[in-house]
Amino acid sequence: MTAAADKHTSAFPRIGVFDSGFGGLTVLRSLLAHIPSAEYFYLGDTARLPYGSKSQATVARYAVESAQLLESYGAEYLVIACNTASALALDAIRSAARVPVLGVIETGADSAADCSVTRDVLVLATDATVQSHAYRDACTIRGLRGLEKACPLLVPLIEEGWTAREVEKNSAVTRQVLRIYLDEALAQAKARGYTLDTMLLGCTHYPLLRTMLEEALPERMTILDSAETTARRVRQQLAAGGRLSSVTEEDQSRCHFFATDSVEKFRTLGSRFLGQPIEQVNLIDLGG
């Protein structure tokens, strides 16, 4: 490492971003836009994904191991860019970590509280996130009513790239699945007497469906994604702590990527989520 690199490293905040896989790269993408002068350490625990179908005990164990690894790399701030881990393991991570930890669910619920006029919010998420009722509870303590809808087929459809408009027969399937989930959710809302005006994307994969969702919604509804709201929150907290670099030119950031499985797949699939090419990914072993 050169002296210049050393100086660069020490001056910038070091932010650890953790997800079970690639989805959290949509959060990193927003972080890069909001905090360009930082050093990022992204860990995707790809050998053990998906967390969405696993129990609380298992998710907590995996997430704590990953958080500790990021701390050992010098991260002074941890972003849990994984809804399942935020839902099932945030307390466990906070107990184990010595640095501030931010989860996507709290920031998502905060932004819904800022946005909703009717106070009725629809949350789309994975099975495990819904079963934890972490969003419903986070909504309740903010005076909102949260209607949670599990959409387990969306992640595989997004990972297969069946969202690209160019391949009509494939994207038609995704639109159809979305239609089924939304109709079920809207019917539930009606039965409960909810007036939804805000939709919260409770899975970091879902921002890739944003356009399809906007087209599919039967009435005007504001769509909030946790990637965006989390990035804004991290920026605020760094600024409050005097850790926001005064250097604000673009391309000052540096990203280090770590994965627990198939570096090649991470590069290929991850670039789609990050919105830019991923050059180097380091394979690490968490012993799982």
- Beta carbon of residue 159, minimum distance to its own copies (angstroms, whole number): 8
* End-to-end CA gap in the chain: 31
Report helix angle 263-274 to 25-34, nearest 10: 50
Active-site position among 115, 139, 151, 203: 203
- Beta carbon of residue 182, minimum distance to its own copies (angstroms, whole number): 12
Which residue is associated with the tokens 């619920």?
109
Q: Which is nearer to its own copies, 7 or 190 (CB)?
A: 190
- With beta carbons less than 8 A apart as the criterion, state whether 232 and 34 touch: yes
- Beta carbon of residue 141, minimum distance to its own copies (angstroms, whole number): 28
Q: Which is nearer to its own copies, 91 or 160 (CB)?
A: 160
The b/e string for 124-143 (b: 16+ C-beta within 10 A; e otherwise) is bbbebbbbbebbbebbeebe
Active site residue 139: no
Report helix angle 104-115 to 83-96, nearest 10: 120
Beta strands in the chain (DSSP E): 14-19, 39-44, 77-80, 101-103, 120-125, 145-150, 196-201, 222-225, 254-259, 281-283
Active site residue 82: yes
Q: Which is nearer to its own copies, 218 or 242 (CB)?
A: 218
Active-site position among 82, 139, 151, 255: 82
- Beta carbon of residue 173, minimum distance to its own copies (angstroms, whole number): 6
- Beta carbon of residue 189, minimum distance to its own copies (angstroms, whole number): 19
Of residues 223, 284, 264, the one with CA closest to residue 45: 284
Q: Which is nearer to its own copies, 22 or 41 (CB)?
A: 22
Q: Which is nearer to its own copies, 188 or 253 (CB)?
A: 188
Binding residues for its own copies, per CB under 8 A? 46-49, 53-55, 58, 152-153, 156-157, 160, 162, 169-170, 172-173, 176-177, 180, 261-262, 265, 287-288
Active-site positions read 82, 203
